Amino acid sequence: MQDSQSSSSLTMIVLCVCVFLLPACFSHPLAGWVSSPGHPGGYEPHSEMMWERCAPAGHILTLSIIHLDLEESYQCENDAVKVFADSLLLKTLCGSMSTEQLQSRVNPSLHSSPGGCLSLTFEADFSNTERHTGFRAFYTVQDVDECWHSDLKCSHFCQNYIGGYSCSCKPGYHLSEDRHTCIVNCTEERFGSGVLTPPGSPGPYYENAHCSYTLTVDEGEQLILSFIGEFDVESRDGRCVDSLTIKTDSATFGPFCGQEAPAPINTAARRIKVLFRTDQGGTNQGFSLSYNTKLMECPGIVTANSILSPQKRVYTKGDTVTVQCVTGYSVDSATKKTFESTCLRSGKWSPVYSCELVDCGIPEIKEPDLIALTEEDPLTTYKQNISFRCLSEHYKLHGHDSFTCNASGQWETIEHLLSPQVDLPRCIPVCGMNKQPFSAGRVFGGEDAKLGQIPWQLLTKQPNRGGASLISDRWAITAAHVVVGQETKTLMFYGGMIDGLDQNAVKMETEKIIIHPGYKVENPHQTNYDNDIALVRMSARVPLSTNIMPVCLPEKSNGPVMEAKLGTVSGFGGTSKNPLRSRYLQYGHVKEYSEVPCFDTTLKVTDNMFCAGGDEGVDTCKGDSGGPLIIPVLGRGSQETPYRLKGIVSWGPAECGDKNFKGYYTKVENYLDWIRETMETN
């Protein structure tokens, strides 16, 4: 027993001497014994214990079991000793094993990770059939050789020391911030002429090189670069592994690699940077870059998308050129096409302006509620096209619908038929179209019209009851005698209905009432209906629909006004049931009569009037004045032959419906110029 204690003390002294360099702050012993309770005299039933130690950084903790004598049981379920490394179970032991068995089968696996911990537990159950001595083990703290076992490898040299390791580099290298990689940081500034080679030359250039050379010459001079001798910069599969790049303030040359030397470079700069980057391996030989000086030259281009005049091979200090933007480009988006620029001593042109693509811009649309661009965000630069569309089916495009941006920054028609400054198209109401239900109604004594059948028919009730025809979305036309004396007043017109009492009718207030200047009123009684025509401008755009739409104006004709066709006249005037007025819109078919006069009258009949009437008493009556007479006859209109306004109900005999007498109508085609001019100027 005394020999065993002496041996243990001696071992501890030797270990302490071997590890005296470990940090003093490590609080546990660096070596020692651990054994079961009562060892070697034997452990009692229900014995248990726990032991744990941790290694300092850069060290591991090892455990060597030199004696094991426990109760043998299935899967060590009775008495057992368990060893853990960082809470991970390494071994569960029971029974008896010799020293040789322990040394070969168990002890090699009983160690912690670097800086990790070992723990041990022992538990005995309630009884043993014979007495067992237990176990005894010896633990030590050992240094780790990171140079062999660490994943953090040094790129050049590794030096191990107790508790850690360090990296070092070959001459010409230094450690990067990661303290493992050896790099070359070859930053250098040079002036004048010379030859530049990479670090390590002659011979293979250094790995992990991050070289940045700044080359500078006097103002008024520029650097000329050429590669001399061998050029060998690592590449793989056509891609640069290592690279050489040359940069000026305005240009970049490279990256260069491989074995074919780049062509000479006229840098057009007095200051350049040469950047050389390499990876961690390779035995390539590098390059030799000769840099020399020559007088500064200005480049053969001042700005993109332009041409110079005069054209010269070389431009030097003091040369002045005229810079002209190519077709479709202008100076800074303006209409200016040229500017002058002078070559400076620095090798730069001054002044320099950009030649930018001409942009015609989005044209201003005056009626955005009616017309819009076909595309929401179209391209508007040189040679780009735009087109327009109407937003409502009740309008059609008038004028050219497609335009091209020309070189002057103006929109022009694709056909180039008009001058570059072209008026934009307009959306004008579709005229002369209706719903087509048809019946043989009559005005005086006739039947009711259907809704949408005569959508241009308007009605005014005060102060004089009369009709009118819508001829655009802002204008109506009527007889002058219906609105005479009301020119300074606001009247109300109704449309989009067939019932004169319809509360849902479209209401239109007048903004202007313009009576033909040739219409004369002779007091006390009207004796002349010549020029019985007036235009009415509404205060707001009329909301067009299938129930309210304009009628087309007529075309001039050389023959009969109604072109020997039947026409249709309509209105809310007197009927056979009520000679004063009708609640519902009536219509009837009439034809033109060439006999003059249509009835015995003292009133003057002029060429601005024509006579029309129908068979069996079809006629207009009081309250129909100002209403429309259209051709073709109602029910025969189409896209090809829209309904046109040929006449305005003007005057007739005192008694309505006499088949022997006809009525007079204002001949609308005589007033087309006045109508269009009045609408355009008002």
Amino acid in the structure at residue 244: L
401 is in an annotated binding site: no
Domains 371-429 and 457-681 share a fold: no
| DSSP β-bridge partners for residue 222 | 294
- Give the strand pairing for 210-216 and 187-191: parallel
For 2-144, which CATH class?
Answer: mainly beta
522 is in an annotated binding site: no
Query: Cβ–Cβ contacts within 10 Å for residue 464, how many?
Result: 17
499 is in an annotated binding site: no
Q: Which of 185-194, 400-409, 436-445, 651-660 has the lowest mean pLDDT?
A: 436-445
Instruction: Work out the pLDDT band at 21, boundaries 50, 70, 90.
Output: very low
The verdict on whether omega for the bond into residue 56 sits within 30 degrees of 0, i.e. cis, is no
125 is in an annotated binding site: yes
Tokens of 583: 């609640």
Percent of the chain with pLDDT over 90: 60
Q: Is 151 a catalytic residue?
A: no
Predicted confidence (pLDDT) at residue 22 exceeds the cutoff of 80: no
Instruction: Work out the pLDDT band at 175, boundaries 50, 70, 90.
Output: confident
Predicted confidence (pLDDT) at residue 348 exceeds the cutoff of 50: yes
How does pLDDT run across 294-343, given as a tens digit for each residue? 888 888 999 999 999 999 988 988 999 999 999 999 997 667 889 999 99
Q: What three-state secondary structure class fits 681?
A: helix
Measured between its terminal Cα atoms, the distance across the chain in Å is: 132
Distance CA 618, CA 569 (A): 9
406 is in an annotated binding site: no
Tokens of 144: 């780790």
Q: Is 532 a catalytic residue?
A: yes
Residues in Cβ contact with 39 at an 8 Å cutoff, skipping those fewer than 6 apart: 67, 133, 134, 135, 136
C-alpha angle with apex 25: 21 to 30, nearest 5 degrees? 60
For 148-182, which CATH class?
Answer: mainly beta
C-alpha angle with apex 37: 36 to 41, nearest 5 degrees? 95
Q: Provide the pLDDT for residue 527.
A: 64
Instruction: Name the CATH superfamily, with its identifier, for domain 306-357.
Output: Complement Module, domain 1 (2.10.70.10)
Query: Cβ–Cβ contacts within 10 Å for residue 57, how many?
Result: 11
Instruction: Work out the pLDDT band at 525, boundaries 50, 70, 90.
Output: low
How does pLDDT run across 225-277, given as a tens digit for each residue? 999 999 999 999 989 999 999 999 889 999 999 999 999 998 888 899 999 99
Distance CA 245, CA 578 (A): 102
The catalytically annotated residue of 69, 473, 532, 624 is: 532
Question: Per-residue DSSP letters for 5-61?
Answer: HHHHHHHHHHHHHHTTTS-TT--S-SEEEEE-TTTTT-PPTT-EEEEEEEPPTTEEE
The catalytically annotated residue of 481, 570, 589, 619 is: 481
CA dihedral 457, 461, 465, 468 (to 10 degrees): -20
CATH classification number, 457-681, choose in 1.10.10.10, 3.30.310.160, 2.40.10.10, 3.40.470.10: 2.40.10.10
How does pLDDT run across 513-524, given as a tens digit for each residue? 999 999 987 665
Instruction: Spell out the domain ranges in the chain.
Output: 2-144, 148-182, 184-295, 306-357, 371-429, 457-681
Predicted confidence (pLDDT) at residue 389 exceeds the cutoff of 90: yes
412 is in an annotated binding site: no
Distance CA 274, CA 197 (A): 11
* C-alpha closest to that of 613 among 674, 657, 575: 657
Q: What three-state secondary structure class fits 239?
A: strand
Q: Please give the backbone phi and psi of residue 75, each rounded to the nearest 5 degrees, phi first.
A: 55, 30
Q: Is 481 a catalytic residue?
A: yes
How does pLDDT run across 598-617, given as a tens digit for each residue? 777 778 889 999 999 877 65
* C-alpha closest to that of 170 among 208, 196, 123, 113: 208
The catalytically annotated residue of 35, 306, 472, 625 is: 625
Do 656 and 649 touch, CB atoms closer than 8 A? no
Centroid of chain to Cα 41 = 88
Query: Which residue's entry shows tokens 């940090």?
Result: 23
CATH classification number, 371-429, choose in 3.20.20.150, 2.10.70.10, 1.10.1740.10, 1.20.1260.10: 2.10.70.10
Q: Which residue has the higher pLDDT, 613 or 436?
A: 613
* C-alpha closest to that of 23 among 68, 56, 61: 56
Query: Is 2.60.120.290 the CATH number for 184-295?
Result: yes
242 is in an annotated binding site: yes
Residues in Cβ contact with 293 at an 8 Å cutoff, skipping those fewer than 6 apart: 192, 193, 217, 218, 221, 222, 223, 224
